[in-house]
Amino acid sequence: QLITKNTREIVSILPPKFNLIVQFLLDEGIKLAQNNVLLSRDIAGRIFHRVSGDITQRKGFATYYTQIPAAMLLAGLCAYTLFDNPNFVEMGEKEVQSLLKRISEVKIADFACGSGTLLTSAYQWLMRFVNTIVYYCGVKQDTKSVARSILENVYGIDALKYAAQITAINLALLAPDVKRQNIRADYLGVKPENAKKEVVWLGSLELLNDHKRFVTLLDFIEKRKESGISVTGEVKFELPDEFDLILMNPPFTRATGRVGKEFKGKEKGLFGFIADESVRRKLKNKLDAIREKANKDLREMLKPQHKLSIGQAGEGALFLYLAYKYVKQGGVIGFVLPKSLLSGVSWFLLRALLVKKFHLMYVITSSEKNEYNFSESTNMSECLIVAKRVEEHNENETTLFVNLLKKPKSATEAVILTQKLVNGKLSAYDQVIVNSVKREKLLENLTNWGVFTGLITNIATRIERGEIVSVVSVPLTELNSLVTSIGVNRRGDIISAFKLPVKGTRVDCSKLLKSPNSFPMLCGSSEVTRKKMIVKPNAWVVPETEDAKKIIEKYAANVLLPNRIRWSTTHVVALFCDQSVVSNTYFMTRLKVDEERSKALTLWLNTTWGILLVLKQMEVTEGAWTSLNIAQWKSLKVLDVTKLDNDCVKRLSKVFEEFCDKEFKRIPEQFGDEPDALRLSLDLEFVKAINPSIDENKVRLELASLYKALKNELSLMTSNL
C-alpha cells in the first residue's frame, strides 16, 4: 500500500513531458503482471538487483543479493532435505495427504531477506512439490489454498525498508489474494535525540537478545522523517518461536566502517552508512555485546574449543548462530556465506556448531573462471550450505561437497542440477565434482573443510602421513613445534611502529634508504621478491619507537612466510634471507633450529609436497587469492627437521643452496603434463637427499601423476588458466 501511494505521488508531480515514458512503463508493468512465467521467476527481484544492488553497497550496508540460479539451487536442496527426498511416484494416499499438510504448514524465515529472492525460490519449490503430487498421484487439491497457506507462513525481515517492500511485492505477485503478509523492515540505528528515550537497535540481531518486538524502520540512511510502513492491515507481526526452514544471505562484513569515506572494498563496514561517529560507536558496542554473548554460548556448548571466538568472522557468523537458535529439530537451514567459512579460524566455532548440532548435507562452491560468487555485485568467493538440525548423529552421516566447474546460468538449469544432486544422477557433462565425506572426517578436519572442495584430498592426506612417494617417507610435525615466534600480521603494526612512508595504499619502499643505525627490511611483496627462495633486504628502517625495538627483538628472522598468496603470480612460497630482517607483508618466522635446518625447512615448503599442504591449509578469499594467518601457519604440517640426522640435513641444505638463487616460473606454470624442468629437478633432488638410493625413474613416474593433479587443482583456483 505504501509503495502504490508513493508511486501515485511521484507520478502526480512529474511534468507533462514524461507522460509518454510513464505510459510506456505502465504498459510494460501490465504485461509483466499478466505473465505468470515471469512472476514465478522473481522478475521484481531481478529488476531490484539490477537497479539497486550497487547502491546498497555504496551506502555501507555490505548487503549482497543472491543470484537467481543460486537461490533456486539452495532453496531446492533445502526443500528436498526438509522432506527427506520424497518419492512422489510411489506415495500412498496417506503419505500424500500427510505431505500436503506438512507443506501447507511449513514456516519459512529469512532474517536478512533483501528483495526476497530466497523466500520466493523456497515458495516456488514447495509449489513445485504440490503440483508434482497432484500430477503423479491424481489428488484433487485446491493448489491456490495451499499457495496461500505457504505464503502466510513466510516471514521476512530486512534493515532496508525498500528491500522489504520489494519482498512484499514479490510474494504478493505470486498469490495476490493472500490475506496476511509477514514481511517487515526492522530498524537498524539509534533513534533521534528528540525521542523520549534513546534506543540502540540492531535489526534482526536483536532476536539474539530475546527481543521479539519489531521497531519500525526509520528512514535513517536517507536522513528524512519516517513516513512509516504501518498502514491498515500491516500492523500486526508476531514471530513464531521456531521455523521449519531458514534461508539467508546475510551481511558478511565486520562492523568496521568509518564515516567520511567512500565505502569501497575493505573500507566498507556494516555501519559505514552512519554519519555520526558516536552513533556508529554505540551500535558497534551493542553488536560487540551480542557477539560476546554468542561466543560464550558457543564456547560452553563446544568445549574444549572454548578459547576460540567468532570475532573476525563478520556478521554472517551471527546470523548463522541466529538461525541455529530459531530452527526447530528436524528443520533445515540454507545459507550463502563467505568461502572462508570452510577454513577460517574465526569460523571454527561455527563449523563445530554445524557438525555438532546439524547434519551438514551440502556444501557447494564454484571454481568457474571469475564466477566464485553466488551473490550479485561481488567477486568474493562464496559457498552455499544446507544443514538439517538433529538431536542425535549416526555413523552413516555424510556431507556432499559439490564443486561447480560451471554454475547454472538460469533458474531452469538450477532446478535440473538440484534434482540430479538429490537423485545422484550427475554425469561428466554436468561439470560438477562431488566428494562424499563422512561426519568423522569432518570432525577430524575441523580446522579446514576446504580440502574437501578440491581434487587433492586423498593426496594431501597421504602426504600428511609423511608418504611423499611410495619409496620414501619423511617425519612431519606442526610448524608450531619448530618456531619460537611468528609475526607480525598485516594490520599496520609495522607501519606505525617504524613510521613507514605510505603512498596511496602501499608503503613507499623507495624512501627507506640505508642509514646509520638502520635495520634491514624486506619491504612489500611485489612479484619480483617471490621469484627465488633467497631474498636480500630491499629497504632499511630505523627503530626509533619502543614498539619498533620490540618487533626487532622478538620477531626479526631469516625465514619469511606469506600472509596472502595469489597463486597465479606466486613463484615460491617460503623465503629465506641470509640475515635477520623485518617485513611489512610477510610473517617473520624465527625458528628454534640452526641455519642448515632452517634452509631444509624452507626447501620443504617449496617442494611440491610442501605446496600441496599449504593449499590444503589455506583460506580462500577470492578466486586465486588465499590467506594463511598465524594460527593456520602454526598448525601446518611441515618436515620435522629435528628428526633428521645431520648428514641428511647437510644434503638438504646443499640442495637449498643449489636452487635458492634460481628463478622459478609462476607456480601454475610449473606443473602439468610437461612440468617445468627446474621444478622436477628440485623435487627429485629433495627425495634423493632424504634417500640417496631411491629408484629415480619410479619417482619420476609418481611425480608426473602428482603434477597433473596439482595442475588441475590450481586450474580450478586461478582465473588466468
> Tell me, what's the pLDDT at 439?
94
DSSP structure string for 524-536: ---GGGGSSSEE-
State the residue for C-alpha cell 555413523. Answer: 395
Report the CATH architecture of 35-454: 3-Layer(aba) Sandwich (3.40)
Average model confidence (pLDDT) for the chain? 83
Residues of the chain with pLDDT under 50: 56-60, 193, 215-235, 254-268, 305-307, 719-721
The domain over range 458-717 is classified in CATH as 3.90.220.20: yes
Cβ contacts of 474 within 8 Å, gap of 6 or more: 466, 468, 639, 640, 690
Q: Alpha-carbon distance 721 to 714, whole Å?
A: 9
Angle at alpha carbon of residue 253, lines to 586 and 318, rounded to 5°: 115
At residue 165, the pLDDT reads: 76
Helical packing angle, 93-105 and 143-151, nearest 10°: 40
CB 653 within 8 A of CB 599: yes
Calpha distance 567→398 (Å, rounded)? 31
Residue 76: predicted pLDDT: 97
**Residue 387: its H or E element:** strand 382-389
Report pLDDT for 266: 42
Q: What are phi and psi of 144, to 5 degrees?
A: -65, -35
* Cα separation, 379 vs 376, whole angstroms: 9
pTM for the predicted model, two decimal places = 0.73
Nearest to 643 by CA among 514, 473, 491: 473
* Integer Cα distance of 409 and 418 in angstroms: 13
The 8 Å CB, 24+ separation contacts for 296-300 are: 297/321, 298/349, 298/350, 298/352, 298/353, 299/349
Q: What pLDDT does 43 receive? A: 64
Check the CA dihedral 506-512-517-521 and report its sign.
Answer: positive
Q: Give one word for 585, left, alpha or beta, with left for phi > 0 and alpha for psi -120 to 50.
A: alpha
Helix (H) or strand (E) holding 423: helix 411-423
Place of cell 534506543: 199
For CATH 3.90.220.20, the residue range(s) in the chain are 458-717
Q: Which of these, 147, 158, 207, lies nearest to 182 by C-alpha position?
A: 158
Question: Residue 285, by phi and psi: left (phi above 0), alpha (psi -120 to 50) or beta?
Answer: alpha
- CATH 3.40.50.150: which residues of the chain? 35-454
383: left (phi over 0), alpha (psi -120 to 50) or beta: beta
Backbone angles phi, psi at 571, to 5 degrees: -105, -45
Query: What is d(CA 156, CA 245) in angstroms, rounded to the nearest whole number?
Result: 12
Q: What is the pLDDT of residues 221-280, one digit of tens each?
A: 333 333 333 333 444 567 889 999 999 998 865 444 433 344 444 444 556 556 567 777
pLDDT score recorded for residue 359 = 97
